[in-house]
Amino acid sequence: MNVNEFLLVKQKVESVYRWLKWSPLLTVATLYILMFSFGFVYSFPYVAVFGSALWHLVILGYARDPHPFVQWHGRQGLLLAGVRTLLAFWAVGPWMDQEGEFFYWLFFMGAIWFFGNRWGRNQVEKLDCWLMRKGGQAAALEAFARAYHSADWKQVWVQEVLASKKDKTRKKAVIALGNLEQSDEEVINALQQARLDDSFDVRDAARVALLKPVHRDFLAKMKEPVRVSSSLMEPVSSPEEMYKEGVKRLEAGEPKEAAAKFATAFRAGRADVRKRAMEQLEILKEIEVF
């Protein structure tokens, strides 16, 4: 399997628990309509519960997926949906008239909804599946996890650092790049870009990643190791601040340092900052920096 296929598998499995998270909006609304609009509350309450539970057949498509990881998580999702349906049958039973029973039911239903969904999503993150192991497929599950981790994820992580709108996703990608056993210019550029991120957590993760031996050794082989390495210890600045710092360095008679600041501002800045940085680089004749 290639990286795109692995991503598709994981997206499908995540969809199972995403559905379980939001499905009560449909199941509860359907139950209410059947119970009160159609009068099932007195005559056929169990039919109303069963009718509302039919929404969970959406997961059946995942349970029949050809990929085992998706298939078993689909079955596990149906199991969680089944437990929730059984609790719904309890809610319409005659024993619910007893004092305090409703609050017990509400507690258990909320716990199954919250912790069950969280339990499943954590397994997806760890490439695990409880039901798959119980079904005697532990070897296949571990083989899938090994193949997943051995795939070349570098390009995906670089793109997430540069393009993802979620701070958590960018931070995870930065950490993953930092843990690579080999470094290259593309990885270094992505990590340096992350050093200018709006999120402090992302910036800090990039700082830690760039100080790891594999990346420091690669930086030492680059044309300007002193300039790049020292920048790791500088406070993280915005593109606008980098441009202003470049102007100060230029006024101080340090054209090389100024060019480095203008280049960073150009790479990370908005259109107005990029334009001003480009003008300064043209004056310094440092366009080849790019």
What mean pLDDT do residues 132-143 have? 94
What mean pLDDT do residues 172-196 have? 89
Question: Is residue 32 left, alpha or beta, with left meaning phi > 0 and alpha meaning psi from -120 to 50?
Answer: alpha
State yes or no: pLDDT of 40 exceeds 70. no
State yes or no: pLDDT of 16 exceeds 90. yes
State yes or no: pLDDT of 224 exceeds 70. no
State yes or no: pLDDT of 229 exceeds 60. no
State yes or no: pLDDT of 23 exceeds 90. yes
pLDDT-based confidence at residue 247 (cuts at 50, 70, 90): confident
Question: In this structure, is the dihedral angle defined by the CA atoms of residues 26, 27, 30 and 32, taken in order, positive or negative?
Answer: negative
Give the best-scoring range by mean pLDDT among 122-126, 198-202, 214-218: 122-126
Q: Tens digit of pLDDT for each residue in 43-96?
A: 677 888 888 899 999 999 999 999 999 999 999 999 999 999 988 887 776 555
Query: Strand, coil or helix: what is 227?
Result: helix
pLDDT-based confidence at residue 288 (cuts at 50, 70, 90): very low
Contact 146, 128 (CB under 8 A): no
Contact 264, 194 (CB under 8 A): no
Q: What is the pLDDT of residue 104?
A: 76
**Between residues 200 and 119, the one the model is more confident about:** 119
pLDDT-based confidence at residue 222 (cuts at 50, 70, 90): low
The whole-chain average pLDDT of the chain stands at 83
Q: What is the pLDDT of residue 90?
A: 79
Q: How many CB atoms lie within 10 A of CB 284?
A: 17
What mean pLDDT do residues 206-214 have? 90
Report how far residue 130's alpha carbon sits from residue 76's, in angstroms, rounded to the nearest whole number: 8
What is the percentage of the chain residues whose pLDDT exceeds 70? 86
pLDDT-based confidence at residue 230 (cuts at 50, 70, 90): very low
What mean pLDDT do residues 173-187 have? 90
State yes or no: pLDDT of 226 exceeds 60. no
pTM of the model: 0.65
Report how far residue 137's alpha carbon sits from residue 140's, in angstroms, rounded to the nearest whole number: 5
Instruction: Please state the separation of Cα 125 from the chain's center in Å.
Output: 9
Q: What is the pLDDT of residue 289?
A: 42
Lowest mean pLDDT among 13-17, 43-47, 153-157, 177-181: 43-47
